[in-house]
Amino acid sequence: MNTNFHRLCVLPVAVVLALALSACDPQRIEQLEEGVATEADVRAQFGQPENIWDGPNGERVFEYNRQPSGHQNYMISIGPDGKMTALRQVLTPTNFARVTPGMPMEDLRKLLGKPMKRTPYELSREEAWDWRYMQPPTTPMIFTVWLDKDMRVVRTATTVEQIK
């Protein structure tokens, strides 16, 4: 099959699926009430989490990743009693400001979720991680974190996403 033809067919399908997924999120979120919704309710609305992290006070934090196509990553906290205690969209300037030099990669993942893209730079022995997010009202942005060979944060940058 012609590669260009394949790209022309697959790309629109991927875009439609990404838009449908992100359009469903507000409806899914609306169905969940903090302190009332259970872990089963969360899984019924969002499915299997990308990751499950240990949180404070016996909580578990479910990661729901919308990268690379979306502009959100969600962290949903489940208390020891099995009830949802928090639902947060974590790709925000407030969370980006919490990313500091020396932060370990695992803490970065727990804070922001899985990145859209990871790019290794062999010569500098660094790796860049990118997350897509939306700067209100409608500006698509990229938040980039560079990690050193020990997988600790070196620096960050924010740029406007170049739509191709």
Contacts made by residues 15-22, CB under 8 angstroms, sequence distance 24+: 15/69, 17/69, 18/69, 18/70, 21/66, 21/69, 21/70, 22/66, 22/69, 22/70, 22/71, 22/72
- Write down the CATH number for the domain with range 3-89: 3.30.1450
Fold exhibited by the domain 93-160: Beta-lactamase Inhibitory Protein; Chain:B, domain 1 (3.30.1450)
Residue 78: per-residue pLDDT: 98
pLDDT tens digits, one per residue of 87-107:
999 999 999 999 999 999 999
Same fold, 3-89 and 93-160: yes
Ranges of each domain in the chain: 3-89, 93-160
Model pTM?
0.81
pLDDT tens digits, one per residue of 111-141:
999 999 999 999 999 999 999 999 989 999 9
